[in-house]
Amino acid sequence: MIKKQLLCCGVVLFLVLFSKLYSFHVAANTAAPYARQLDSLSQGALLQDNDISDIRNTSYFASLSFANESLPLGDQQIERKMMRYLKAYSYKERRSYLLHNRARKALPQVATILRKYGIPEDFKYIPLVESGFTSGTTSHRGASGYWQFMPHTARQFGLRVDGEVDERQHIEKSTVAAAKYLRALYREFNSWTLVAAAFNIGEGNLQRAISKQREDNYFKLKLNKETGAYVYKLISVKEIIENPDRHGYRKGRTLLADAAPEAGDSDKL
């Protein structure tokens, strides 16, 4: 009788141990892909083929920010929108190193001026979004130059714009004017993401949107399509310039090694 009881106890103990080992094995296998995903992103894996569900909880995605204002996490609409623009500016979609070459030449000078006026360096990416760092670009509304200033705003912040001279086309002078304008916008909005939005849409239009919606968080404001995408574009451009490998670009590759852009393709973001 005692032998039978010991045998039964042994069988039960074996089953319990086997069950725990199996559970541990399943849990480990389930966690492994996610752990590998985190590890691959930390090592610069490409994001262009990933789905938002693969990276939304990673430290990389949590690090996305503009002027030290982090991307709000937990809102799937915001996260999917961010992922969409990251993919849109990848090598797979753009296939151009021209912006990297222009950034390499112009960004240090622009960053130095912005720092002098207390403006976060992330604003140096605005000329890449606005004009692709090319002078002479004029919109149908009359905005022109590296920073795409409207004539009255340019004059307000010290630039000469007349029939003979257009200082919007001068990178140093226009950047000084932009820094002064951005500083004035920050005094009004006290948020760098809102400053970026105001630079795009105008401070009056943004202030009316804030008052009407009773909302002062850029990511939650309902703005026109261009302004609603503006900060997402700036974050995406910042990413492809600072982390090119992660978005399909290879560091050190020259413009001559790149394929010519297709007809109608623009290097302006």
Q: Please state, rounded to an integer, the average pLDDT across all residues of the chain.
A: 81
The more confident residue out of 191 and 248 is 191
Residue 58: band (very low, low, confident or very high) from pLDDT cuts 50, 70, 90: confident
245 neighbors 65 (Cβ within 8 angstroms): no
Whether 123 is in a domain gets the answer yes
pLDDT at residue 253 in the model: 60
241 neighbors 103 (Cβ within 8 angstroms): yes
Whether 139 is in a domain gets the answer yes
Beta-carbon-side half-sphere exposure of residue 14 (alpha carbons within 13 Å): 6
Q: Do 9 and 61 have their domain in common?
A: no
Q: How far apart (Å, rounded) are the C-alpha atoms in residues 171 and 132?
A: 12
Q: Do 19 and 85 have their domain in common?
A: no
The boundaries of the domain holding residue 149 are 47-257
Q: How far apart (Å, rounded) are the C-alpha atoms in residues 135 and 138?
A: 9
Q: How far apart (Å, rounded) are the C-alpha atoms in residues 119 and 141?
A: 27
Whether 268 is in a domain gets the answer no
Q: Do 102 and 209 have their domain in common?
A: yes
* Count of domains for the chain: 2
Q: Do 136 and 241 have their domain in common?
A: yes
Flag whether pLDDT at 202 surpasses 90.
yes
Whether 262 is in a domain gets the answer no
Beta-carbon-side half-sphere exposure of residue 186 (alpha carbons within 13 Å): 14
Beta bridge partners of 70: 65
Chain segment 19-33, per-residue pLDDT in tens: 544 444 444 444 434
Q: Do 106 and 13 have their domain in common?
A: no
Beta bridge partners of 187: none
Sequence letter at residue 225: K
Q: How far apart (Å, rounded) are the C-alpha atoms in residues 67 and 25?
A: 44
Q: How far apart (Å, rounded) are the C-alpha atoms in residues 139 and 205?
A: 19
Chain segment 78-135, per-residue pLDDT in tens: 999 999 999 999 888 888 888 889 899 999 999 999 999 999 999 999 999 999 988 7
Pick from 129, 60, 118, 123: nearest CA to 94: 129
